[in-house]
Amino acid sequence: MKRIKLWDKEFEISLLNEDIQLAIKTMAEKMKTDLEGKETLFICILNGAFMFAAELMKELELTDAEISFLKLASYSGINSTGEIKELIGINEVITGRTVVILEDIVDTGYTIKGVIEQVLAHGAKEVKIATMLFKPDALKVEINLDYVGIVIPNDFIVGFGLDYDRRGRNFKDIYTLVDK
Ligand code: IMP
Ligand code: MG
């Protein structure tokens, strides 16, 4: 089993790039049909969703889509703080638009819930969520996820955009924390 060490912690491979890519392709097929002709604004939540957003957008091939990027953070170390930071850079005209939020992972759900509320407050007509990963056992809020790539157990993971204290985002596969 391939392992990596980031700072003080060991992680072992748990999701191969091929499987992630396949899940993204499947999501893209469904999204294409739903969103055709809607002039959708995709909003990629930085930093974690950058790799997912890039792969998904390449598969989508919508001629009327736009993509923008927003920054926020709610994690410190390996635990969600539950504290939602303000969205930075929400300057697109979103009034009256269909917005699809692109997120790396939904864990407790606090982050995505906060994002949905802020996007709606800016006047979006419709907000949909596309998350690459979902940890249903960690969910603490009621939320409707429109597109989910892969459902995973409630373990801490890194890779494909996700980090442990800023490291690990650059790996193409996903790794799970090894408990010692
Ligand atoms: P939530 O607010 O608890 O749903 O957490 C969402 C955010 O926490 C995600 O956008 C990620 O950036 C981060 N996060 C949640 N779970 C993990 C994980 O297992 N590894 C790395 N980051 C995570
Ligand atoms: Mg994130």
Residue 51 sits in a domain whose CATH number is 3.40.50.2020
Residue 96 belongs to some domain of the structure: yes
Q: What is the pLDDT of residues 130-167, one digit of tens each?
A: 999 999 999 999 999 999 999 999 999 999 999 999 99
Residue 22 belongs to some domain of the structure: yes
Residue 172 belongs to some domain of the structure: no
pLDDT value at position 85? Answer: 62
pLDDT value at position 132? Answer: 98
Type of residue found at 44: C
Residue 3 belongs to some domain of the structure: no
The catalytic residue among 107, 137, 146, 163 is: 107
Q: Answer yes or no: 107 catalytic.
A: yes
Residues with Cβ within 6 A of ligand 1?
48, 74-75, 80, 103-112, 156-158, 162-163
Which ligand 1 atom sits nearest the alpha carbon of residue 139?
4
Ligand (nearest to CA of 107): 1
> For atom 12 of ligand 1, which residue has the closest CA?
48
Residue 34 · residue 43 · CB < 8 Å? no
What residues does the ion ligand 2 have nearby, CB within 5 Å? 48, 104
Q: What is the pLDDT of residues 52-65, one digit of tens each?
A: 999 999 999 999 99
Name the domain count of the chain. 1
Range of the structural domain that residue 149 is part of: 16-154
Residue 180 belongs to some domain of the structure: no
The pTM of the full predicted model, rounded to 2 decimals, is: 0.93
Residue 35 belongs to some domain of the structure: yes
